[in-house]
A and B are shown apart, each in its own frame.
Chain A
Amino acid sequence: MWLWGAMCAAGQLPAGVFHSSSAALALADLAGASALGGRLEDFRGRAVLIAAKDQLTAALALIELDGVAQRIVLCPPDLAPAHFPGVIQTSGAVAWVRDVAVPEENGAGLELSVTAHPALTAEPLRRHCTHETEWILLTSGTTGAPKLVAHTLATLTSTIVYQQARQQPATRLPVWSTFYDIRRYGGLQIFLRAAFRGGSLVLSDPKEPITEFLGRAAAAGITHISGTPSHWRRSLMSGAAATIAPAYVRLSGEIADQAILDNLEAAYPNSGVAHAFASTEAGVAFEVGDGLAGFPEVLVGAPGPVELKVEDGTLRIRSAGNATRYLGEGAAPLRGADGFVDTGDRVELRDGRYHFIGRAGGVINVGGLKVHPEEVEAVINAIPWVRMSLVKARRNPITGAVVTAEVVLADNKDVPGERPEGAALTREIIEACRRGLPAHKVPAMVRIVPSLEVSAAGKLVRPGA
Chain B
Amino acid sequence: MSSVRATIVSQFEAVADEQQRRLAPLTDDLKLLQSGLDSLSFAIVVARLEDELGHDPFNAEEAVEFPVTFGDFVRLYEHSAG
Task: Please judge, given known A-B contacts A211-B33, A259-B58, A399-B39, whether A239 and B68 are in contact too, CB under 8 Å.
Answer: yes
Q: How far is the CA of A258 from the CA of B33 in the complex (A)?
A: 23
- Main secondary structure, interface of B, reads helix
A327 at interface by CB-CB < 8 Å: no
Task: Please judge, given known A-B contacts A234-B33, A439-B40, whether A396 and B63 are in contact too, CB under 8 Å.
Answer: no
A209 at interface by CB-CB < 8 Å: yes
Task: Please judge, given known A-B contacts A237-B67, A259-B64, A263-B66, whether A444 and B43 are in contact too, CB under 8 Å.
Answer: yes
Give the residue of B47, B51, B63, B68 whose beta carbon is less than 8 angstroms from that of A237.
B68
Task: Report the minimum CB–CB distance from A333 to chain B (whole Å).
Answer: 34
Q: Decide: B48 and A398 in contact? CB cutoff 8 A.
A: no
Residues of B within 8 A of A174 (CB): none
Q: Decide: A444 and B48 in contact? CB cutoff 8 A.
A: yes
Residue of B nearest to A259 (CB): B63
Q: Decide: A233 and B66 in contact? CB cutoff 8 A.
A: yes
Task: Please judge, given known A-B contacts A237-B68, A258-B63, A444-B48, whether A367 and B39 are in contact too, CB under 8 Å.
Answer: yes
Residue of B nearest to A439 (CB): B40
Residue of A nearest to B64 (CB): A259
Task: Report the minimum CB–CB distance from A204 to chain B (whole Å).
Answer: 14
Q: Decide: A396 and B46 in contact? CB cutoff 8 A.
A: yes
Q: Decide: A397 and B33 in contact? CB cutoff 8 A.
A: no
Q: Decide: A430 and B18 in contact? CB cutoff 8 A.
A: yes
Task: Please judge, given known A-B contacts A236-B66, A237-B67, whether A398 and B33 are in contact too, CB under 8 Å.
Answer: no
Task: Please judge, given known A-B contacts A258-B63, A259-B64, whether A396 and B32 are in contact too, CB under 8 Å.
Answer: no
Instruction: State the interface size on chain B (CB cutoff 8 A).
Output: 24
Q: How far is the CA of A236 from the CA of B47 in the complex (A)?
A: 19
Q: A215-231 CB contact bits vs B (8 Å, 1 = yes)?
A: 00000000000000010
A402 at interface by CB-CB < 8 Å: yes
Residues of B within 8 A of A440 (CB): 40
Which chain A residues in 241-261 approach chain B with CB under 8 Å?
Answer: 258-259
Q: How far is the CA of A238 from the CA of B32 in the complex (A)?
A: 7
Task: Report the minimum CB–CB distance from A406 to chain B (whole Å).
Answer: 14
Residues of B within 8 A of A397 (CB): 46, 56, 58-59
Which chain B residues in 56-82 approach chain A with CB under 8 Å?
Answer: 56, 58-59, 63-69
Task: Please judge, given known A-B contacts A259-B58, A397-B56, whether A239 and B31 are in contact too, CB under 8 Å.
Answer: yes
A394 at interface by CB-CB < 8 Å: yes
Task: Report the minimum CB–CB distance from B15 to chain A (whole Å).
Answer: 9
Residues of B within 8 A of A395 (CB): 59
Q: How far is the CA of A211 from the CA of B33 in the complex (A)?
A: 9
Task: Please judge, given known A-B contacts A209-B33, A237-B67, A444-B44, whether A230 and B59 are in contact too, CB under 8 Å.
Answer: no
A366 at interface by CB-CB < 8 Å: yes
Task: Report the minimum CB–CB distance from A206 to chain B (whole Å).
Answer: 10
Residues of B within 8 A of A398 (CB): 39, 42-43, 46, 58
Residues of A within 8 A of B47 (CB): 394, 396, 402, 404, 444-445
Residues of B within 8 A of A394 (CB): 47
Task: Report the minimum CB–CB distance from B10 to chain A (whole Å).
Answer: 13
Residues of A within 8 A of B67 (CB): 237
Residue of A nearest to B20 (CB): A434
Residue of B nearest to A396 (CB): B43
Residues of B within 8 A of A104 (CB): none
List residues of chain B with CB under 8 Å of any chain A CB: 18-19, 31-33, 39-40, 42-44, 46-48, 51, 56, 58-59, 63-69
Q: Please, could you name 16 A-B residue pairs with CB atoms under 8 Å apart, sorted by A?
A: A233-B39, A236-B66, A237-B32, A237-B33, A238-B68, A259-B58, A366-B43, A397-B46, A398-B43, A398-B58, A399-B39, A402-B40, A427-B18, A430-B18, A439-B19, A439-B40
List residues of chain A with CB under 8 Å of any chain B CB: 209-211, 230, 233-234, 236-239, 258-259, 262-263, 366-367, 394-399, 402, 404, 427, 430, 439-440, 444-445
Instruction: Rank and list the top 6 A-B pairs by shortest CB-CB distance, nearest first.
Output: A397-B58, A239-B68, A398-B43, A399-B43, A236-B66, A444-B44
